[in-house]
Amino acid sequence: MKKLIKNGTIVTAADEYKADVLIENGKVSAIGHDLTKHADEVMDAAGLYLFPGGVDPHTHLDMPFGGTVTADDYETGTIAAAYGGTTTVLDFCLTNKGEPLKDAIKEWHEKAKGKAVIDYGFHLMISEVNQEVLNELPSIIDEEGITSFKVFMAYKNVFQADDGVLFQTLLTAKEHGALVMVHAENGDVIDYLVNKALKEGNTDPIYHALTRPPEVEAEATGRAAHLTGLAESQLYVVHVTCSDAAEKIAEARRKGYQVWGETCQQYLVLDQNDLAKPHFEGAKYACSPPLRESRHQEELWKALKMGHLHTIGSDQCSFNFKGQKELGKGDFSKIPNGMPTIEDRFSIIFSEGVKKGRITINEFVDLVSTRAAKLFGMFPEKGTIAVGSDADIVIFDPNIERTISADTHHMNVDYNPFEGLKITGEPVSVLSRGEFVIRDKKFVGKPGSGQYLKRQRYYSPLKIKETIFR
Ligand SMILES: [Zn+2]
């Protein structure tokens, strides 16, 4: 089965040009002008962009949290992602202390099996480091192709690991070619501030933001960056929300440390005032780290433009307002943290970034697809349109205007944090490995068709000398 997409404008992180794309056996087999080879199906994409499928490096699907489970699982979550132009997700596999890591990975495979409609991989959470864990990690990299580990510096008494665990994870990652990811907030200070607020009777959602100020994020970001420098390892800071933390990453990079930063579209278009909405509606916007004062938005765009931040993840983690977010009524610390964001990441960044002149169209592709594919060992199969790459292609109309709403979104959740946001540009059709998942804005994929991705090791561009720590 050969497909030919004619007359589209191909955009990668490096180029923008008009050409035809031939697809065979799930791969791009030829790119050129006036391709006339026999194809079983020919599509005309005149006036449309052909982007590499979006790579979302940060999702939480079917994840237990705070006594409940996210509203979207691998089926509804990946369908919504596909509608939005995302063809690869990297989801966080949570682990339990004292239990084999492989058991947790098996559980995550079960969650995805028969459900995912696009390709997916896992990051592995590291909550403790002991001999068993150290013995298991090399085989997880080899056999499972999981080449990124996540350490939480926050969520005291739940997910939080101490600095010793972070440092040993950095050393192990360096040795075996993995990338360490951190949720960078000072969990001990947050724990104190949260308890103090509650004791003083401050229980509304806005206190979720006020008890996790930018300083606790910046402090943890700087601490993790310093430990990375000391270990001569590599670090990826997830969901950077504020200029204070972005500056810590810039500072580390000026020293030559391999520190990368991700932000999310919600931190670029929403702000702390949303948490102050009346009738407990602020709870819809509770995520960690929290939304910030609006002045941080332009600072984050600048950091993306200047190369201090490198990717956009969605941090999809959906809970219904009714029955789930409501668990935090009368106590903001019990609001399940997270927002439904997987669907419109691609279009929001195109609209707010490219259309508003903040980033170029090539920078856009790099931020929503290419860079994450490279950092997480999936390039060039993912993250670009090139001969030999997977035919994950978004056929995108850059001129459609629409308004985001829970009435029309495809996530399995009762609100949309971007409700009412007017954006320009929308995926018309989306292919995963050469097969349509979305065709003319309708889902035509099949649950279970998404494939698990074994990923390559983190490639270190620097030859690193031996350290005394190993
Ligand atoms: Zn997250």
CB environment 365-378: b (16+ within 10 A), e (fewer) = bbbbbbbbbbbbbb
433 CA to centre of ligand 1 in angstroms: 27
For residue 380, count other CB atoms closer than 10 A to its CB: 16
Query: Using one digit for the tens of pLDDT, what is the confidence trace for 380-421?
Result: 999 999 999 999 999 999 999 999 999 999 999 999 999 999
Measured distance CA(336)–CA(216) in Å, rounded: 20
Any idea which of 35-44, 63-72, 83-92, 397-406 has the lowest mean pLDDT? 35-44
Task: Write the CA distances from 132 to 10, 104, 166, 182, 389, integer angstroms.
Answer: 48, 14, 16, 22, 37
Digit-coded pLDDT (tens) for 81-127: 999 999 999 999 999 989 999 999 999 999 999 999 999 999 999 98
**At which residue do the structure tokens 């009435």 appear?**
407
User: Residue 156's pLDDT is what?
Assistant: 93
Quote the pLDDT of residue 400: 97
Q: What is the pLDDT confidence band of residue 36, given thresholds at 50, 70 and 90?
A: confident
SS3 (DSSP) at 421: coil
pLDDT mean across residues, the chain:
95
Q: How far is the CA of 341 from the centre of ligand 1 (A)?
A: 11
Give residue 470 CA to ligand 1 midpoint distance, Å. 30
465 burial via Cβ count (<10 Å: 0-12, 13-18, 19+): exposed
CA 437 to ligand 1 centroid distance, Å: 25
Residue 313 Cα, ligand 1 centroid: separation in angstroms? 9
- How much is the pLDDT for 460? 57
pLDDT of residue 134: 86
Q: How far is the CA of 315 from the centre of ligand 1 (A)?
A: 5
8 A C-beta contact, residue 228 and residue 180: yes
Task: Determine the distance separating the centroid of ligand 1 and the alpha carbon of 196, expressed in angstroms.
Answer: 25
Q: Please write down the HEC assignment for all residues of 44-57.
A: ECCCCEEEECEEEE
User: Mean pLDDT, to the nearest integer, of 198-223?
Assistant: 98
Average pLDDT over residues 451-458: 96
Write out the two tokens for 42: 């020919």
pLDDT band at 35; cut points 50, 70, 90: confident
**Is pLDDT above 60 for 294?**
yes
Q: How far is the CA of 177 from the centre of ligand 1 (A)?
A: 23
pLDDT range class, residue 128, cuts 50, 70, 90: confident
C-alpha 80 to ligand 1 mean position (Å): 17
Position 173 pLDDT exceeds 70: yes
Centre of ligand 1 from the C-alpha of residue 150, in Å: 10
What is the CA(60)–ligand 1 centre distance, in A? 6
pLDDT (average), residues 300-317: 98
